[in-house]
């Protein structure tokens, strides 16, 4: 898949666990795991916005395009 999800990288940089991010987002850890592993078919902009606010980053820090 050419879209790479670097959510693990940002979590590590912010010293935050997935469980904590899931709680702050109001989603289940399972749904966050699906997003982190790149198995999600899409992500809502409001979810992406919330992730960026919580992790104090830009969407490009989380999503990357590779051929």
Name the domain count of the chain.
1
- pLDDT-above-90 percentage for the chain: 94
- Determine the average pLDDT of the residues in 39-65: 95
Residue-wise pLDDT for 19-42, tens only, equals: 999 999 999 999 999 999 989 999
Domain residues for the domain of 58 are 1-63
C-alpha triplet 29, 6, 14: angle, nearest 5°: 75
What does the pLDDT read at residue 1? 61
Please report, for the domain that includes residue 49, its CATH number. 1.10.260.40
pTM above 0.85, yes or no: yes
The helix-helix angle for 18-25 and 29-36 (nearest 10°) equals 110
- Going by C-alpha positions, the residue among 60, 66, 67, 65 that lies closest to residue 10 is 60
Q: Which residue has the tokens 């109001």?
A: 26
Average pLDDT estimate for 5-20: 96
Both structure tokens of 1: 């898949």
């Amino acid at each position: 898949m050419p879209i790479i999800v670097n959510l693990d990288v940002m979590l590590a940089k912010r010293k935050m666990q997935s469980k904590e991010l899931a709680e702050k987002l109001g989603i289940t850890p399972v749904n966050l795991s699906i997003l982190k592993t790149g198995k999600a078919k899409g992500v809502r902009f409001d979810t992406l916005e919330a992730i960026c606010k919580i992790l104090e980053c830009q969407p490009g820090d989380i999503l990357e395009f590779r051929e």
